[in-house]
Amino acid sequence: MFRSYHARIKNPRLALAVGIAVAVILQCCGGVIDPYTTQVIVFAAINVMLAVSLNLVMGETGQFSLCHAAFMAVGAYASALLTGKALPALFPHLAWTGASWASQLTFLPVLIIAGLIAAFAGLIVGGPSLRLRGDYLAMVTLGFGEIIRVLLQNTNAVGGARGMEGILPATNLFWAVGAAVVTLYTMIALVRSTYGRGFLAVRDDEIAAAAMGIDTTRFKVTAFVIGAFFAGVAGALYAHAVEFISPEGFNFLRSFEIIVMVILGGLGRPVGVAVAAIMITLLNEWLRDLSQYRMVVYALIIILFMIFRPMESLAPFLSRLVPRQFRKTKAPEAA
């Protein structure tokens, strides 16, 4: 995998504005879209956020993390407690239903706080463990994921193994698609810069990166914390979309599903990873009718995808979807 770097960097905020406009328009057309399709779009947006944020850790910085779903859980539970307990207790005279203006206006700060709490969890895990390499980091993150799950299972205040139900259905198309657009923008803007190439330098050769003055541990922790932040926001959106969360929903298999999206989309390619996340979401929906054979077919399709890597052959086409200012220059391929 070889990356060139675009010399001209203009203002790409237009792309961000267009993306958010799409989210607003989708929300306004909400009446036309049936509830099932709406839900699939929301799930796809959440998966895009999860996969693109994990891509920063795994694809760009080369750190194998197995606890992305745990950060999602932290965000989900934190936000559920905020909207379910803290906010109604603080402002008891306001109407707290999913679409009420009170819950919609407070949803942005709720998402951000959920993200920050997840980011803090990321700092606690990443700070000490990112000094480890490869397999050891994978083991630590696997352990952390399990710790979070077991902690939640045994905390009665958040429903223990039964989980939390009756969460406000505050997530709608605007929040989900808007957040996915902001995530994708942030990741692309970050990576396509001199600063962002530091992540790739760390992945390529830590010793050389350190010799060039790059604080490699700091870069790894930064990637981990940013990844955890967006996973936390995705978790908050998820909790307020399905209205019910339980520790089992954020187990190791969920983390693994996100990893599959990142690998399928091509490590270190944010747009490819986003497309892979959407495809896996759709695949999950299409295979629902197959009932008990679902996982067999699912696994088969994933294996075929891994062998033929359609994302990589689609890459030149996919990169056209990225605003010109972000695009790479054409460079001769490595021999």
Binding region for other proteins (CB under 8 A): 1-5, 7, 9-13, 186, 189-190, 193-198, 200-201, 203-205, 207-216, 222, 226, 268, 329, 331-335
Q: Which is nearer to other proteins, 122 or 159 (CB)?
A: 122
In angstroms, the CA 67 to CA 71 distance is 7
The distance of closest approach from Cβ of residue 114 to other proteins in the complex, given in angstroms and rounded to an integer, is 20
Between the CA of residue 192 and those of 6, 11, 23, 196, 334, what are the distances in Å? 8, 13, 24, 6, 20
For other proteins, the closer of residues 92 and 332 by Cβ is 332
C-alpha span between 252 and 163 (Å, rounded): 17
Q: What's the token pair of residue 98? A: 């999913």
Kindly state the smallest distance separating residue 243's Cβ from other proteins, in Å. 32
Between residues 78 and 223, which has the closer beta carbon with respect to other proteins? 223
At its nearest, how many Å lie between other proteins and the CB of residue 269?
11
Residue placing its CB nearer to other proteins in the complex, 87 or 201: 201
Nearest distance from residue 97's CB to other proteins, in Å?
34
Provide the sign of the torsion angle of the four alpha carbons 31, 36, 41, 43, taken in this order.
positive
Could you give the CA distance from residue 177 to residue 101 in angstroms, rounded to a whole number? 19
Which tokens in the block code for residue 250? Answer: 């954020």
Distance of closest approach, residue 4 Cβ to other proteins, in angstroms: 5
Q: Which CB sits closer to other proteins, 15 or 72?
A: 15
Local structure of 214: helix, strand or coil:
coil
**Alpha-carbon span 144 to 311, nearest angstrom:** 31
User: What Rg, from alpha-carbon coordinates, does the chain have?
Assistant: 20
Q: From the CB of 59, what's the least distance to other proteins, in Å?
A: 11
SS3 151: helix
Nearer to other proteins, 63 or 103 (CB): 63
Shortest distance (Å) from residue 76 CB to other proteins: 25
The residues, any chain, with a CB within 8 Å of residue 225's CB and separated by 6 or more, are: 119, 122, 123, 126
- Cβ proximity to other proteins, 3 vs 162, nearer residue: 3
Structure tokens that stand for 120 in this block: 């803090």
Q: What token pair was written down for 157?
A: 């205040």
